Amino acid sequence: MADTLTITDNRTGKTYEIPVQDGAVRAIDLRKIKTDPDDFGLIAYDPAFTNTGSCRSAITFIDGDRGILEYRGYPIEQIAEHATHLETAYLLLFGELPTRAQLDEWTRVITQHTIPHENIKKFMDGYRYDAHPMGILLSTVGALSTFYPDARDIFDAQSRRIQTVRLIAKVPSIAAWAYRHLTGQPYVYPDGDLSYTGNLLNMLFKGTELKYQPHPVLERALDVLFVLHADHEQNCSTNAMRAIGSSHVDPFSAMAGAIAALYGPLHGGANEQVLRMLQEIGSVDHVPAFIKAVKAGEGKKLMGFGHRVYKSYDPRAKIIKKTADMVFAVTGRNPLLDIALELERIALEDEYFVSRKLYPNVDFYSGLIYQAMGFPVEMFPVLFAIPRTAGWIAQWEEMLLDSEQKIARPRQIYTGAARRDFVPIERR
């Protein structure tokens, strides 16, 4: 049997044979299907890219029907159990798990680059007292391009490597400073003795003590959450990173766009919305009424439920539930957990959610953990952006080095007015 697709165009009666490779046809092959020589040819119409592969990628594998997530072939459950976030970032970026010596060197280099330029502190001071930290993060990361003009040299491997280190090292510092700005506290400099997440907790929560000691359980829990958020193939923000990067702009500018995409309530802003939703519901007794309103389509969604790719339980949500137990053992149980559990219980039995294959996604429980750890809701998307930095850069670099990639530029079906003559203003 041939690996081809035979298409008959019923407009002309002509038949075309199109190659099928890796379960895909190339949309450009449709172009030869024309009604006459002047016809532009067929295009594939796919708003929101629900069935379009935009790239070949060797980084992350998802099987949404079976609830499988793998980074470079390793199951997420195994990575979350055994690896740190920096180890995971190394795996995503360089394709293999680091040896002990490679991990030590990677950790040393990242630690060395954690301090942002002093001028960054000055302009961060200029944001309004209540500025959303995600807004601060996205604009500050964009501004990094002005500090590192060498980042424009995107086809130089050495330059890409140094920008990668800068981003992974400095994003937590900027994120923590954005939080300190929101809370009106002085910025805390990185502590090189601490782990990646231990140092982040230090920069976020250090008070008057001379040396901040992160709680080991919270430090590890944050690390697990970071591992789970490190990459997720062609999601909205990664697609933004690749699309912006395809214009060959520097990675700081591209990543500012990716952070902006993540900020939205349908993406990384969802965990913030989950918490707001749980607070609005207020008590377990109000859950049935809330579910009823969601099903009636009264403008409400069950935030933290549903996923474009997962049509079964998000494997990350399962791990997060376990992490929540670990954290609550230290911080005390988050009172909103009961509402979340009841929502999940009802939704998993309800025909509306079952028939649409709506299951809890990664954001359903992460917000509860972050809240128990003392983060305000505004920090939730920021805590998503920090680990996703590794995934964004890995995907950006893969796109740059892929000889099939060009500037991302979709087509459209024009639905506007037909050609008409300009009407002078006095005759309109």
Q: Give the interface with ligand ACO as residue ranges (CB under 6 A).
A: 266-268, 270, 294, 301-308, 356, 358, 361-363
**In the complex, minimum distance from the CB of residue 274 to ligand ACO, in angstroms, rounded to a whole number:** 7
Q: Which residue is nearest to ligand ACO (CB)?
A: 306
Quick one: which of 193, 33, 151, 170 has its CA closest to 110? 170
User: Interhelix angle for 196-205 vs 216-229, to 10°?
Assistant: 110
**In the complex, minimum distance from the CB of residue 268 to ligand ACO, in angstroms, rounded to a whole number:** 6
By CB neighbour count within 10 A (0-12 exposed, 13-18 middle, 19+ buried), where does 420 fall?
A: exposed
**In the complex, minimum distance from the CB of residue 180 to ligand ACO, in angstroms, rounded to a whole number:** 26
* DSSP output for 194-253: S-HHHHHHHHHH--S-SS----HHHHHHHHHHHHHHS--SS-HHHHHHHHHHTTT--HHH
Tokens of 257: 């766009």
**In the complex, minimum distance from the CB of residue 294 to ligand ACO, in angstroms, rounded to a whole number:** 5
Helix (H, G, I), strand (E, B) or coil at 110: helix
Locus of tokens 């009823």? 292
**In the complex, minimum distance from the CB of residue 270 to ligand ACO, in angstroms, rounded to a whole number:** 3
Quick one: which of 337, 362, 168 has its CA closest to 252? 168
**In the complex, minimum distance from the CB of residue 253 to ligand ACO, in angstroms, rounded to a whole number:** 22
Three-state DSSP string of 364-390: HHHHHHHHHCCCCHHHHHHHHHHHHHH
285 carries an active-site annotation = no
Q: Assign residue 272 a region: left if phi > 0, alpha if psi is -120 to 50, beta otherwise?
A: alpha
Query: Please, which residue, 257 or 268, has the CB nearer to ligand ACO?
Result: 268
Query: Please, which residue, 69 or 303, has the CB nearer to ligand ACO?
Result: 303
Catalytic residue from among 29, 191, 314, 363: 363
248 carries an active-site annotation = no
**In the complex, minimum distance from the CB of residue 238 to ligand ACO, in angstroms, rounded to a whole number:** 11
Query: Please, which residue, 179 or 263, has the CB nearer to ligand ACO?
Result: 263
CA dihedral over 19, 24, 26, 31, signed as positive or negative: positive
Query: Please, which residue, 51 or 412, has the CB nearer to ligand ACO?
Result: 51
Do strands 4-9 and 74-75 pair parallel, antiparallel, or not at all (unpaired)? Answer: unpaired
Catalytic residue from among 85, 181, 229, 307: 307
307 carries an active-site annotation = yes
How far apart, in whole angstroms, are the C-alpha atoms of residue 71 and residue 62? 9
Catalytic residue from among 215, 267, 338, 402: 267
Helices marked H in 149-194: 157-182
Q: Are 382 and 133 in contact (CB under 8 A)?
A: yes
Find the radius of gyration of the CA atoms of the chain: 24
Query: Please, which residue, 180 or 307, has the CB nearer to ligand ACO?
Result: 307
**In the complex, minimum distance from the CB of residue 308 to ligand ACO, in angstroms, rounded to a whole number:** 4
How far apart, in whole angstroms, are the C-alpha atoms of residue 428 and residue 424? 7
Query: Please, which residue, 152 or 267, has the CB nearer to ligand ACO?
Result: 267
How far apart, in whole angstroms, are the C-alpha atoms of residue 25 and residue 34? 17
Q: Which long-range contacts (CB under 8 A, 24 or more apart) does 297-303 make?
A: 302/277, 302/343, 302/347, 302/353, 302/358, 303/265, 303/270, 303/273, 303/274, 303/276, 303/277, 303/363
Query: Please, which residue, 305 or 365, has the CB nearer to ligand ACO?
Result: 305
Quick one: which of 20, 24, 23, 21 has its CA closest to 6? 20
List, by residue number, the catalytic residues.
267, 307, 363
